[in-house]
Structure 1
């Protein structure tokens, strides 16, 4: 099973060789959660503000399915 992951706005620094918005294919097992995905990618939970699965806001306990599209965003400030 695989999911597509995209990281944005600085989170790409946690995945060497990855660029902003680049699709990363990650192998998962049945019952794999968002929290486990972050751990596998070495992205600290506290750095992720928005966790989207197939374009819908989810929490880290969501169970991922084969073919899901995950997007990760940090908190972004502005003025």
Structure 2
């Protein structure tokens, strides 16, 4: 299992808080499938957005990062998290 650190930037006028982080975490779990290898998610409100650590089952760090980014892209496109945009840490 590998950890992948990601950041989301707030792109709406809504204030970011722990509720926003919880929404992102729930949306990630809702979009995750067996092929994503998602084992655990940590989401925390940070200044200007949400900090994420996705723990992903994969053969190596590179594959874990690709899986995490694909899951995040799907989640942002499909869920109630449209107020966020992905950013590299």
> TM-score range, shorter-chain basis?
0.3 to 0.5
Larger strand percent: 2
Instruction: Please give the TM-score of this superposition, normalised by the length of structure 1.
Output: 0.36
Which structure shows the bigger proportion of residues in helix conformation? 2
